């Protein structure tokens, strides 16, 4: 089933939010700061997927709850739950968002093949779910969350030609708001794009980060700007070059994910493999904030080791805005 996530809907929600006249349904699904007191609160815990790597960027497993400490606005938090076992971790709900704007037209086939290989690798049937979305001048949900590989295969290869423009931040904002908010598991977005929004989106970079943090969605991005048939001169794979690249890195790092810059089809496939391996080697930490004043202020999160761990690096989301949001607790 193909559903169009209309750009018009996003525009209306933004305008009405500013005017303070959002309908009852919209207040439930997308509360604005003015309406926070009227929203039923469903969550008072923060979930942190945590990745630990060594000097060689290999994933480090085998750590325990006692190896970590969490701080919110520099105040120590009590870890309520900790999981280092993939089987005990919540199931994965992954949104794969593919850029189908003109700038990636020549790379579409490679993107489709690699995306499908990733889906087949990451999904554990009867447990994990994947949704597939395309974005250009429209945002289209080609396949809702499913573990049926045949449905996902059909959706991925149904894309035949690119559209116009690149509604990148709008796609992230809408998918997190409409689909991730109530996903009953670990929420992950994997975006395949050249990273150029070109100011077509109504949502901004900061708004995309905000909705991802509030819905506890980790974002990974694979940049295809460097080309997939050889390195484009001046855009060497793996190097951040311009503001769009830096924005892509910020979007991912602030939500606990990572951005990969590919130079050819082999690197594209390796990037997908790294994401898949990371998702299956994460620690899941939850804690209850000691500050129960949900005033919309930004709260910084820091995860540290309790002792010295030379050469090890922690990656987790950097914070969130404390709203009375109705995100489903996992």
151's tokens: 């449905």
63's tokens: 């750590």
What is the band of 227 on the pLDDT scale with cuts at 50, 70, 90?
A: low
CA–CA distance, 3 with 221 (Å, rounded to integer): 23
C-alpha Rg value of the chain to the nearest Å:
19
Helix axes 7-19, 168-175, angle to 10 degrees: 70
Domains of the chain: 3-38 (no CATH), 46-87+282-321 (no CATH), 92-279 (3.40.50.410)
CA–CA distance, 322 with 164 (Å, rounded to integer): 36
Q: What is the pLDDT of residues 260-314, one digit of tens each?
A: 988 777 888 888 999 999 999 999 999 999 998 888 899 999 999 999 899 999 9
CA–CA distance, 50 with 259 (Å, rounded to integer): 16
Q: Tell me the CA end-to-end span of the chain in Å, nearest whole number.
A: 27
Closest CA to 104 of 222, 255, 21, 275: 222
According to DSSP, the residues that pair with 260 across neighbouring strands are 222
262's tokens: 């590919």
What is the band of 330 on the pLDDT scale with cuts at 50, 70, 90?
A: low
Mean pLDDT of 219-226: 86
Residue ranges of E strands in 147-193:
186-193
* Strands 298-305 and 186-193, bridge-based pairing: unpaired
Q: Which residue has the tokens 């933004």?
A: 14
Closest CA to 97 of 122, 73, 133, 59: 133
User: What pLDDT shows up at residue 295?
Assistant: 87
Specify whether the CB–CB gap between 91 and 186 falls below 8 A.
yes
What is the band of 326 on the pLDDT scale with cuts at 50, 70, 90?
A: low
- 120: CB partners within 8 A, 6+ apart: 149
* Strands 139-146 and 3-5, bridge-based pairing: antiparallel
């Amino acid at each position: 089933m193909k559903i169009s996530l209309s750009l018009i809907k996003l525009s209306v929600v933004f305008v009405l939010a500013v005017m303070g006249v959002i309908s009852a349904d919209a207040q439930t699904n997308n509360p604005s700061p003015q309406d926070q007191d009227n929203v039923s609160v469903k969550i008072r815990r923060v979930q942190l997927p945590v990745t630990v790597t060594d000097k060689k960027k290999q994933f480090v497993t085998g750590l325990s709850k006692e190896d970590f400490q969490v701080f919110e606005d520099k105040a120590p938090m009590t870890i309520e739950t900790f999981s280092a076992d993939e089987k005990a971790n919540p199931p994965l709900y992954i949104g794969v968002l593919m850029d189908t704007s003109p700038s990636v037209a020549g790379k579409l086939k490679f993107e489709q093949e690699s995306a499908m290989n990733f889906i087949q690798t990451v999904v554990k049937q009867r447990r994990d779910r994947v949704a597939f979305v395309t974005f250009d001048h429209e945002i289209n949900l080609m396949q809702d969350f499913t573990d049926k590989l045949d449905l996902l295969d059909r959706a991925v290869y149904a894309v035949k030609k690119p559209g116009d423009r690149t509604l990148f931040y709008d796609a992230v904002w809408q998918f997190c708001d409409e689909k991730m908010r109530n996903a009953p598991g670990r929420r992950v977005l994997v975006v395949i794009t050249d990273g150029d929004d070109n100011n077509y989106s109504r949502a901004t970079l900061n708004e995309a980060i905000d909705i991802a943090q509030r819905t506890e969605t980790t974002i990974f991005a694979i940049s295809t700007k460097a080309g997939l048939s050889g390195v484009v001169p001046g855009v060497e794979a793996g190097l951040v070059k311009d503001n769009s690249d830096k924005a892509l890195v910020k979007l991912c790092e602030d939500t606990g994910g990572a951005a990969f810059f590919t130079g050819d089809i082999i690197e594209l496939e390796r990037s997908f493999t790294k994401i898949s391996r990371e998702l299956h080697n994460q620690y899941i930490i939850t804690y209850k904030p000691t500050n129960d004043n949900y005033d919309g202020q930004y709260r910084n999160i820091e995860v540290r080791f309790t002792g010295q761990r030379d050469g090890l690096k922690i990656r987790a989301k950097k914070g969130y805005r404390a709203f009375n949001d109705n995100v489903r607790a996992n």
